[in-house]
Structure 1
């Protein structure tokens, strides 16, 4: 019995529609790999099939499933069953590749489909009945934590240079021990191909790598191999990155890709802007990196100063700066002062400035730049006073700011 089907009625319906009447369908890739190495069931499950995209769509609609042509030129249709999406791709063979994309034809050969994939551990199939199908030795590699290219590593990379980054990403996520020597040597020989990739694709792989369990040591391997700077556009601070990852674990915080990217490569606003452009980061991601530049809070600050920092910067920016400063400090992971500082943003309810324009109009000011300046002076005075809400104290601040 296929245990991946347990508790997944949508997956049962998809396979029942596709795996019959002369066509085959099998679960493929990451879901099979993770199940095999005991990582449990993933939420995203990919399916490979001998049926063409048109036939997949016809069968899905006949079975009452929603079909979305998410990558029809590459043979991919996303089927939605019981509210869950399943990416279904017709078996393929590469006809032509240019290092960025491949021209493919649809096929019916499972061994040929396996041979066109990147790593052996990603070319595993699981049938509806629960049989593991392995044409390339991927099961042994997955269980050993060995990320190995299928066939000639240089050829696999030249088909798509993004596979250099995928090598490190999968090693950080699933690998044990050192990198596969043949794979690493091929990545180093073909490093020039990284410049041919779209920055959006590089961004996606990089952010996934940064949150993988072994990201710190894998980035160190990349740096030693001369492959980190071509990705970031600048040298990386691998030591600070590794320390931040340890701190996140020690504090029970989830791995955060943007914060980790900041620890790795941001010391100034210019660094943040270069990364935003170089990796095609979103505006929100770029702004968050830019907010890392400048002075950081420290345990030596008084409580009022810490709270003023949180108020002016916001919770996220305060915590990002505090955690990265903690990582750069070299302090022990259980240092009480740094732990207390990182908790300030999470625990302190940020107050709302109690004065509004109407309060200054009542004091005789008129609308215009002067009113805005008075509001700003009053807010700064209120912060410096420790965020008082006593009516008299607030009124005194307003009068002083109004001049």
Structure 2
């Protein structure tokens, strides 16, 4: 076994045992797809893993289930119609899928027939780099030239690109997503041309599937360059339903990297396509975003803090808005400003957003009741006025200052 292949298998509890259970007694099983691709290009394949480990097998789902149960694993029929059983082995899930042919497709889903031909199973997959198999003995099986393509950073369709896309139009988005994550240079010419020819098929896809691919694309390493290619090819607007601001997106990605921030899909989507709340609402509907995603996206459309505010004003803005919304709006405003990446004003603003220990309002209802204010609407009004005065005063914490502030607020009500 190759040392690296051994590490891939040994690092995952249960994987070696599962392969041993499936790869014997007349059946074969091999690791396939993303884990093999990532191992080949030197990405982390440890456990917990960046992604899942998928297994292809000649065994049909019933046989996979029988063997898994006999070994003490827990099989779950997550996609029986497509030959997939998820097996939980020592706490880690593995998707085990029977070799198959896609006998009929409609651009969204496929009807499948189980088989035993490894070459045919590879031929029905999307990209060459995703059609690589690794045996438990460490042998790499490559029917399509995927090893060379993966090492070269070339995302290439298997066989006829137009046919692969017509089988599932989501492969247009997958082309750009994988290019953004693994590609070098421009998108492969034949693949790009086929994507352009097939773009009308994007309208046939479910919103949930489009959302899943787009959100992965937005956080990929070369997302900015790839979105620029999508835009130039006329493929970005059909996905977003609007013109995308790729320049702002690319600058935001660079700012996140410079500040050591993790790529954030919702924030990046906002930089790309949200100027007003109506934009956010349209995107949320178009992509079937979750409630949390839609709410956060809508919050990106409001007024943004800028270095033009004094530090006191910036902190007041941050306190009222909350750290996440303030940071999102500040980062996007910085990206759209055109200011230099090392601009001191924007850097200072973002330092406050990220590092300032935002205080809690120190006065409580009991403080007002102790001064004779009765429970009821007047209490809530007084507390709100006191909090506003506290913010305006620069968030004082000294008991004497707080006492004076409270007295001033109550005096206005007398």
Same fold (TM over 0.5): yes
Aligned 8 A contact 2:281 2:294 in 1: yes
Counterpart check, 1:84 vs 2:88: no
Counterpart check, 1:253 vs 2:261: yes
Which of 235, 238, 257 is the equivalent residue of 2:243?
235
Question: Which whole-Å CA distance do the structure 2 matches of 1:189 and 1:246 have between them?
Answer: 32
Counterpart check, 1:314 vs 2:314: no
Which of 175, 178, 181 is the equivalent residue of 2:186?
178
Question: Which whole-Å CA distance do the structure 2 matches of 1:21 and 1:368 have between them?
Answer: 77
Question: Which whole-Å CA distance do the structure 2 matches of 1:139 and 1:282 have between them?
Answer: 37
Counterpart check, 1:215 vs 2:219: no
Question: Which whole-Å CA distance do the structure 2 matches of 1:381 and 1:63 have between them?
Answer: 67
- In the TM superposition, residue 333 of structure 1 has moved relative to its aligned partner by 1.7
- In the TM superposition, residue 105 of structure 1 has moved relative to its aligned partner by 1.5
Partner of 1:8: 12
- In the TM superposition, residue 389 of structure 1 has moved relative to its aligned partner by 1.8
Which of 51, 64, 68 is the equivalent residue of 1:56?
64
Residue by residue over 1:315-350, the C-alpha shift from the partner in whole angstroms, topping out at 9 and shown as x without a partner, is: 111111111111112222222221221121221111
Residue by residue over 1:172-231, the C-alpha shift from the partner in whole angstroms, topping out at 9 and shown as x without a partner, is: 000011111111111111111111111111111000000111100100011111111111
Counterpart check, 1:104 vs 2:112: yes
**TM-score of the aligned structures, taking structure 1 as reference length:** 0.97
Partner of 1:272: 280
Question: Which whole-Å CA distance do the structure 1 matches of 2:350 and 2:123 have between them?
Answer: 49
Partner of 2:37: 33
For residues 298-309 of structure 1, the aligned pairs below 5 Å read 298-309=306-317
Aligned 8 A contact 2:105 2:111 in 1: yes
Counterpart check, 1:370 vs 2:378: yes
Partner of 1:138: 146
Which of 292, 303, 311 is the equivalent residue of 1:295?
303
SS at match of 1:41: coil
Partner of 1:149: 157
Q: What RMSD, in angstroms, separates the aligned Cα atoms of the two structures? A: 1.4
SS at match of 1:117: coil
- In the TM superposition, residue 400 of structure 1 has moved relative to its aligned partner by 3.4
Moved >4 Å (runs of 4+): none
SS at match of 2:111: strand
Aligned residues: 403
Partner of 1:358: 366
Question: Which whole-Å CA distance do the structure 2 matches of 1:197 and 1:82 have between them?
Answer: 36
Counterpart check, 1:344 vs 2:348: no
- In the TM superposition, residue 101 of structure 1 has moved relative to its aligned partner by 0.7
For residues 57-72 of structure 1, the aligned pairs below 5 Å read 57-72=65-80
Residue by residue over 1:83-130, the C-alpha shift from the partner in whole angstroms, topping out at 9 and shown as x without a partner, is: 211111111111211111111121111111111111111011011111
Which of 370, 375, 388 is the equivalent residue of 2:396?
388
- In the TM superposition, residue 40 of structure 1 has moved relative to its aligned partner by 3.2
Residue by residue over 1:118-146, the C-alpha shift from the partner in whole angstroms, topping out at 9 and shown as x without a partner, is: 11110110111111111111111111111
Question: Which whole-Å CA distance do the structure 2 matches of 1:226 and 1:55 have between them?
Answer: 47
Worse-matched range after superposition: 214-223 or 67-76: 67-76
Residue by residue over 1:66-95, the C-alpha shift from the partner in whole angstroms, topping out at 9 and shown as x without a partner, is: 212222221111112222111111111112
- In the TM superposition, residue 276 of structure 1 has moved relative to its aligned partner by 1.1
* Contiguous gaps of at least 5 residues in structure 2: none
Worse-matched range after superposition: 220-229 or 69-78: 69-78
- In the TM superposition, residue 246 of structure 1 has moved relative to its aligned partner by 0.8
Question: Which whole-Å CA distance do the structure 2 matches of 1:384 and 1:293 have between them?
Answer: 25
Aligned 8 A contact 2:73 2:87 in 1: yes
Worse-matched range after superposition: 382-391 or 204-213: 382-391
Question: Which whole-Å CA distance do the structure 2 matches of 1:305 and 1:225 have between them?
Answer: 44
Aligned 8 A contact 2:256 2:263 in 1: yes
Question: Which whole-Å CA distance do the structure 2 matches of 1:125 and 1:335 have between them?
Answer: 49
